[in-house]
């Protein structure tokens, strides 16, 4: 009888530990409610100040979160500088001379450290800053789940292999997002982030000179600032209508064959994504709802929780 009781106690204890392990891996909207109650307001104020100074920064901060989550999960790895033990992700093809906003994140981290030291991770700051950037340009808010910890390393090779390129076809985009457990609906909604921000000439040159599914007047207007050679870093708005407002005009541009990137126009090119683009182009409520859900799904990609990783004091280097 005693042996049976011990056996039952053992399995109950094991089950309890499993529940604890599972719960520790869950993100929570109230993660900092007690440990750092001023965290969210501090991040929001810093984001608003940065965006007020430069509207484009909203798109840059949103993109940082995306490029973080697609490499090793949402762990702040994109923020790490190179060191003697690894080469970081900042020099990867999709990031080099392209990712911006690192100094803004440094400033936000400094402000957050001043209200509660060694508490709020850089990965969580990226997630919150992405949401606040959308709101700063007129988009709708969503509840960010928190509790991520920061990685101790980064991966240049994964950044080069897993981040979708602006030359991607629809099937490649669907596959790249599926690899991160994101649906095609998520992919098309997240692509709507291109309703704000700018892109460099080098990312759309081939499209405006060689592709046929592009509005000819639109292409000609872009060629003036993006010659066939040179001017690689000249920029154009991803949304030709309202590049500093978070709205549905990105999808209306696609309907008019005015997608700036090859990968943009692939979402409306007589394929399986057309109907969802049509829905978003006529229903802002549906887009905002799906975008929020997709951002939450993306934020759930491989977070470090519990005792994994660390909370970096400086987002550019490990403690």
Per the annotation, binding residues for heme b are 194
Output b/e per residue, 156-186; b: 16+ Cβ within 10 A: beebbebbbebebebeebbebbeebebebeb
Question: How far is it, in rounded angstroms, from Cα 293 to Cα 4?
Answer: 47
Binding positions for substrate: 164
Q: Does 65 qualify as catalytic in the annotation?
A: no
Question: How far is it, in rounded angstroms, from Cα 295 to Cα 225?
Answer: 33
Instruction: Please give the structure tokens belonging to residue 253.
Output: 């541009």
Binding positions: 68, 71, 73, 75, 77, 89, 164, 194-195, 239, 242, 247
Binding positions for Ca(2+): 68, 71, 73, 75, 77, 89, 195, 239, 242, 247
Instruction: Please give the structure tokens belonging to residue 234.
Output: 């000249």
The answer for residues whose C-beta is within 8 angstroms of residue 234's C-beta and 6 or more apart is: 200, 201, 225, 226
Q: Which of 67, 90, 100, 252 is catalytic?
A: 67
- 246: nearest Cα among 278, 292, 202: 292
Alpha helices in 80-121 (DSSP H): 102-115
Question: How far is it, in rounded angstroms, from Cα 191 to Cα 291?
Answer: 9
Asked whether the beta carbons of 222 and 165 are under 8 A apart, the reply is: no
Question: How far is it, in rounded angstroms, from Cα 79 to Cα 90?
Answer: 8
- Point out the residues that are catalytic: 67
């Amino acid at each position: 009888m005693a042996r049976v009781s011990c056996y039952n106690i053992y399995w109950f204890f094991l089950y309890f530990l499993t529940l604890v392990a599972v719960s520790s891996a869950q993100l929570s909207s109230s993660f900092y409610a007690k440990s750092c109650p001023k965290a969210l307001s501090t991040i929001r104020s810093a984001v608003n100040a940065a965006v007020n100074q430069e509207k484009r920064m909203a798109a840059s901060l949103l993109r940082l979160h995306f490029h973080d989550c697609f490499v090793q999960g949402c762990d702040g790895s994109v923020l790490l500088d190179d060191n003697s033990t690894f080469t970081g992700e900042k020099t990867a093809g999709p990031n080099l001379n392209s990712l911006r906003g690192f100094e803004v994140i440094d400033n936000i981290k400094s402000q957050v450290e001043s209200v509660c030291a060694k508490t709020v991770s850089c990965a969580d700051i990226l997630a919150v800053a992405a949401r606040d950037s959308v709101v700063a340009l007129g988009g709708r808010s969503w509840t960010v789940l928190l509790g991520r910890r920061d990685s101790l390393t980064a991966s240049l090779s994964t950044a080069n292999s897993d981040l979708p390129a602006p030359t991607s076809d629809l099937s490649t985009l669907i596959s790249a997002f599926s690899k991160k457990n994101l649906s095609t609906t998520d992919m098309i909604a997240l692509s709507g982030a291109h309703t704000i921000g700018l892109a460099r000439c080098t990312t759309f040159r081939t499209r405006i000179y060689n592709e046929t599914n592009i509005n000819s007047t639109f292409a000609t207007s872009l060629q003036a600032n993006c010659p066939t050679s040179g001017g690689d870093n000249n920029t154009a708005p991803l949304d030709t209508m309202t590049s500093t407002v978070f709205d549905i005009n990105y999808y209306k541009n696609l309907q008019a064959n005015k997608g700036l990137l090859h990968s943009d126009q692939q979402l409306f090119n007589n394929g399986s994504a057309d109907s969802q683009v049509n829905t978003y182009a006529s229903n802002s409520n549906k887009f905002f709802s799906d975008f929020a859900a997709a951002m939450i799904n993306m934020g759930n990609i491989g977070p470090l929780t519990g005792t994994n990783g660390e909370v970096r004091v400086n987002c550019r280097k490990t403690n």
